[in-house]
Amino acid sequence: MLQPILHHLNSTRIVLASSSPRRKQILENINLKFDTAKSNFEENLDKSSFSSPSDYVRETAKQKTLEVVQRLFSIEESPELIIGADTVVTDGKNIFEKPKDKDHAVEMITSYCGRSHKVLTSVVLITPKSSKVFKGKEPLNEQLDITQFEEISEVFIPELPEEVVRSYVDTGESMDKAGGYGIQAIGGSLISGIQGDYFNVMGFPLHKFCVELRHIYQL
């Protein structure tokens, strides 16, 4: 979908503001060239202060990306595009991020069994309004164009014996993944179906990202 503008994109400096290997893999698979920069934003926003999981993940994604922008736009060669994202799992009320430990991962996955849950990702695309590097004296938002969107996928996990859940968590795959499982690997064997974007469940909604990027570049 990005083929008409891929040559242009790959002639610019793009930064993925994430250390997620899944997001990196998804973007590499479409032949996009980019650098990576881990966000140092401490993800400690008060969940209870947000009216919905969507509002929470949107603000977290924005703050994670802006932290990288603040650092990178103060150097000589500013990126022309910064891509940031955050993913959470929700049952409609509770917000699940990465598990704290194995018992927490088991608790998360067990709570999904026998019903569906939703994977929600917010993506932030930031481009400078000019080719100039970030100037500390000017408000950051006035120097940037910010595009942000969300994607929701519904995931179905059937009733599972506790030994199956614990055996999966013991593989170690749960610990760095929102919601405590990864659909692209062993965790895929726990899932009976999804409705929506598969890549969103991995942590990055690929199709919607391409649509939004084409809008930015007016194609």
Task: Identify the pLDDT of residue 146.
Answer: 93
Catalytic residue numbers? Answer: 86
How many angstroms separate the CA atoms of 166 and 181, rounded?
Answer: 12
How many angstroms separate the CA atoms of 94 and 97, rounded?
Answer: 10
Read off the pLDDT of each residue in 192-201 and give the average, rounded to a whole number: 97
% of the chain exceeding 70 in pLDDT? 93
The structure's pTM equals 0.91
Read off the pLDDT of each residue in 46-64 and give the average, rounded to a whole number: 95
Q: Residue 150 is part of a domain; what is its CATH number?
A: 3.90.950.10
Token pair 């993940």 in the structure block, residue: 57
Q: Considering the chain, what is the average pLDDT of its residues?
A: 91
pLDDT tens, position by position, 129-181: 765 545 555 666 677 899 999 999 999 999 999 999 999 999 999 999 999 99
CB 216 within 8 A of CB 148: no
Of 8-12, 86-90, 147-151, 190-194, the one with minimum mean pLDDT is 8-12
Task: Identify the pLDDT of residue 8.
Answer: 87
DSSP-assigned beta bridge partners for residue 16: 36, 83
Residue type (1 letter), 162 = E
What is the number of structural domains in the chain?
Answer: 1
Read off the pLDDT of each residue in 91-99 and give the average, rounded to a whole number: 90
Task: Identify the pLDDT of residue 71.
Answer: 86
* Residue ranges making up the domain that contains 41: 3-216
Q: Structure tokens of 43?
A: 């993800």
